[in-house]
Amino acid sequence: MSAEATNPEAHPEARPELRRRGRSRLDLRRLGRAALLGPTSRDRLPDAIGHVAEAHRAHHPDADMSILRRAYLLAESSHRGQMRKSGEPYITHPLAVTLILAELGAETTTLTASLLHDTVEDTDVTLDQVRAEFGDEVCFIVDGVTKVEKIDYGAAAEPETFRKMLVATGNDVRVMSIKLADRLHNMRTLGVMRPEKQARIAKVTRDVLIPLAERLGVQALKTELEDLVFAILHPEEYESTRALIAAHAGERDPLPGIADSVRTVLREAGIAAEVQVRPRHFVSVHRISRTRGELRGSDFGRILILVGENADCYGVLGELHTCFTPVVSEFKDFIATPKFNLYQSLHTAVATPEGYVAEVIVRTRQMHRVAEAGVVALGNPYATATPDAAADPDEERVDPTRPGWLSRLLDWQQSAPDPDTFWTVLRAELAQDREITVFRADGGTLGLPAGASCIDAAYAQHGEAAHGCIGARVNGRLTSLSSSLSDGDTVQLLLAQDASSGPSAEWLDHARTPAARIAISSWLDSHPDRAMATTSAARAPLSVVGVRGGGANAVADLPDATVRLAGCCTPVPPDAVAGFLVRGGAVTVHRVQCAAVAQMRAVGRTSVAVHWRATADCRVTLLAESFGRPHLLADLTEAIAREGVEVVSATVEPPVEGRVRHTYTLQLPDAAGLPALMRAMRDVPGVYDVSRA
């Protein structure tokens, strides 16, 4: 166990809330920086569990520490004689993992399971012993961690290892918290391994564990893991970044002065706030150096402002933008719209009179705790409202804090046909760093990755039944399945009644979620004849024209003028209408709400008064949207004929994604029968909408 992880005296800098308690707490970010900037001596840890207990008590003053001491005694005695590859006693590893979690504020049950997380796998201790000594909750977590085998069996074992990890995490998110802390300590002590093994473990950490830490909101672990991976996989860039930070350390840092100015502004405004300067970690410095070029002193850190209430965050923002020059493009409000990993803060940047630009983060202390520790800060998500209620340890749990992305991972991992597909899709899914929420027509919600289409929404809501999806309404408007969705959209999915309907190969071009892509690919593989069929072959529309032309039943106040009803809005009695003189001396009649009316007036067309004849008959154009099926045109024509309406012309467009559009020009004996006609057409099986052109 390294001195950075075990000896608080090596790092005298304390967090402000801990100075009030009279002791210095460990800062994970500072520990990581110290480990990277150079080796330190290894000291024996006196009263090892005492440091864990003190760190835990800082977050949970009323916690029962006796259970931690009992867990430590069991772990120490069971691991006695075992050594790590670094030559240290093995007990230093569970102690270090537990200390990391204690610093993040994990509750007692998590810390107890963390101390015991390797005992069942590596010693003679059994799950029954753990259950008898520490209860079902600790046993459940230890069992979950034990089922996730060690990730050093070679590349072939990694997909199945992470599949087990996801399942265990889905049953209890605290399992992943322990595994992330476990990986962090292993990465800190990775120097004893061969370079090729270091590189392999670092790549897995980069591709999967760091994105999982980001998804779970555990930024304190994520940033240190990023720096450790950066040092192993990109040693030259790491060394140049290290030299850049070392050079900055010898220069005047403008951020403390800016922080003092901010404190003065907020104090004069009567806003109680704590202002800190937060140095950037190695990867962050490397990223901004690539985008900004030469860095200035204010680029090596950010100013963090902690307040008590949400409203104070916006009060601070107002003072900053009043007393400094704001950089508008840098403002982001993650309080009103939190990130998918629970993160909330206000981000802005201000320019000082000296020409420095300082990035500023404003959040409440509770937001800060969640931003650093993520799900670890949520405590026990499975605590029942009635403590006496007995829970079945074999029953699958429903995690009230389980984010939507984790539920999606758990759903599609069961359908992944082989380990390679699972591994490839897992990394692609974790690379998605933003999430949107769309509303279903029944009032429910769907969590989807940014850029998801209606196809993804269909499979998220209906599973394999989405094979028959042929269209969607987004915010009330009919759209194609390939349409992308935005945060807050309302989507209504339209399913075909034909059970043999299936997706086309083109759907894969628009599917973003693994569940959708795996389901579509599986269906196409099982229907090779349908997969090979082209759905995009151009076909001319089918047109049917009646023998009777029919005349307009509108009259213009212009002798001998030919009157035409506009095809863009197809007015019928008793619509309010307007007439305009067009080329050839004809008068075209529009509904007054038609957009063409304003265009006619704008170009100076002569307005002509028009009115309806006393006769009740009229001509109208209707659009019918339907699912493609045999005999649909005949059924629609029969429904129209039953209403006593004559078809003047009909056009049927080629099917698009299983949907067919019909355009009918009809002669009605009485305009009053139009609503009944439209209802009759909608009642035809397969027709889902009828509207006027």
pLDDT of residue 662: 85
Name the most confidently modeled range: 14-28, 139-153, 444-458.
444-458
What is the rounded distance in angstroms from the CA atom of residue 345 to the CA atom of residue 508?
36
Q: What is the 3-state secondary structure (H, E, C) of 135-177?
A: CHHHHHHHHHHHHCCCCCCCHHHHHHHHHHHHHHHHHCHHHHH
Q: Which residue has the higher pLDDT, 114 or 443?
A: 114
Q: Which of 147-151, 203-207, 426-430 has the lowest mean pLDDT?
A: 147-151
Written as six digits, the tokens of 421 are: 């597909």
Count Cβ atoms within 10 A of the Cβ of residue 110 and give its class: 0-12 exposed, 13-18 middle, 19 or more buried.
buried
pLDDT digits (tens, 9 = 90+) for 59-118: 989 888 889 988 998 998 898 888 888 788 888 899 999 999 999 999 999 999 999 988
Confidence bin at 381 (pLDDT 50/70/90): low
pLDDT of residue 368: 92
pLDDT of residue 33: 42
pLDDT of residue 646: 85
Written as six digits, the tokens of 638 are: 């029969």
Q: Which residue has the higher pLDDT, 526 or 135?
A: 135
The Cα angle at residue 209 between residues 205 and 214, in degrees rounded to 5 = 130
Confidence bin at 546 (pLDDT 50/70/90): very low
SS3 479: strand
pLDDT of residue 337: 76
Question: What does the pLDDT average to over 278-298?
Answer: 86
pLDDT of residue 156: 47
CA–centroid distance for 412 within its chain: 16
121 is catalytic: yes
Region of 252 (left: φ > 0; alpha: ψ -120 to 50; beta: rest) is beta
Give the active site residue among 88, 122, 617, 646. Answer: 122
User: Comparing C-alpha atoms, which of 31, 36, 3 is closest to residue 15?
Assistant: 31
Give bridge partners of residue 473 from the DSSP assignment: 478, 492
Give φ, ψ of 628 to 5 degrees.
-75, 130
User: Comparing C-alpha atoms, which of 394, 409, 416, 410 is closest to residue 449?
Assistant: 409
Q: What pTM does this model have?
A: 0.62
What is the rounded distance in angstroms from the CA atom of residue 174 to the CA atom of residue 30?
24
Q: What percent of the chain has pLDDT over 70?
A: 75
Give the active site residue among 54, 76, 88, 121. Answer: 121
pLDDT digits (tens, 9 = 90+) for 221-256: 999 999 999 999 999 999 999 988 888 887 888 999
Cβ–Cβ under 8 Å, residues 561 and 538: no
122 is catalytic: yes
> What is the pLDDT of the chain when averaged over all its residues?
77
